[in-house]
Amino acid sequence: MGNRKLAGFTIIETMLFLGISGFLIFALLAGTGNSVNEQRYKDAVQSFKAMLQQQYADIGSVQNSRNNTWSCGSTVTPINTGPVSDNRGQSKCVLVGKYVRLEDKKISIYNVVAYQQSTAIQSNDILSLKNNYRLNVLRNDVDNKTLEWGTRISYPRTQGGAANEPYAKPQNPRKLGILIVRSPDSGQIYTFSNSDADVPDDANINPTTLADTIVAGGFSPGDAQGARWICINSDGLLTTSSTAIQINAYASSASAIETQTNDYMNTSVLGFKC
């Protein structure tokens, strides 16, 4: 019988096959990883936006569940004093808003109560909030969170334009305080914010620092009712550009919280990007 040659692959063909297969698997895994990271970043942005919007929804449907054994003095600290003259749901400590303190990755959400210390006639709600009411936060009811997937808040990078932050700032860290309050007189919701050195530490959020946050005006840099752009830094999760959460000037509802892309911010009159 004659010899038969067995069909098969040479060593070079086998190595070539394995090399191409390995490259394709690597490319597939890299693409999958990028897609997962991109989705995680989008989830983090949307969760942060939804958190801010929820504060307006909570303030718009405030419920005072305390009974008439609760009282509130000039320190604006609700205490259970036993039977008092207040009717149910009408204690002198009125739940009026939320204070959101942001620092890098940390989010602290405080309930804000107000004690009416004067009935003097004021020309507008803001003066009434500052002069007729004494505000404070409830320290035994703080909602502490962190931004998802390692993201953090950071500054926009300005490009010489007159924006909310008209000069270059470092990307990290950033501090921002947002006071969302519903006027006990008119029911109108107002938003005030401050940044950096004006944001008190958690232990120093008190009637004085809250009153200092309540400043009328907007649009100009540093105005408390002005627009704010909060960049959500991916902290290496993405190689592409970041997204910003925009709080519109004179924000009074959840619709004032928007998501903005770099394309919009850089090509519009804003002149900056994340």
How does pLDDT run along the chain (274 residues), one tens digit per residue?
A: 455 554 555 666 566 655 565 555 554 444 455 688 888 899 999 999 999 999 999 988 765 555 555 556 556 565 544 454 444 445 567 788 999 999 999 999 999 988 888 889 999 999 999 999 889 898 888 999 999 988 999 888 765 544 454 445 555 688 999 999 999 899 999 999 998 889 999 999 999 999 999 988 876 656 789 888 899 988 777 656 678 999 999 999 999 999 988 777 776 666 677 7
DSSP single-letter state for residue 136? E
- Every domain of the chain and the residues it spans: 25-273
What pLDDT is attached to residue 21? 56
DSSP single-letter state for residue 160? S
Q: Provide the CA 144 distance to its chain's centre, in angstroms.
A: 12
What pLDDT is attached to residue 74? 56
What pLDDT is attached to residue 61? 75
pTM of the model: 0.79
Tokens 């019988």 locate to 1
CA dihedral (213, 46, 274, 262) positive or negative: negative
Phi then psi for residue 73, to 5 deg, are -100, -165
What pLDDT is attached to residue 85? 47
Spell out the SS3 assignment of 82-131.
Answer: CCCCCCCCCCCEEEEEEEEEEECCEEEEEEEEEEECCCCCCCCHHHHHHH
List 244's β-bridge partners, or say none.
231, 260
Q: Are 258 and 147 in contact (CB under 8 A)?
A: no
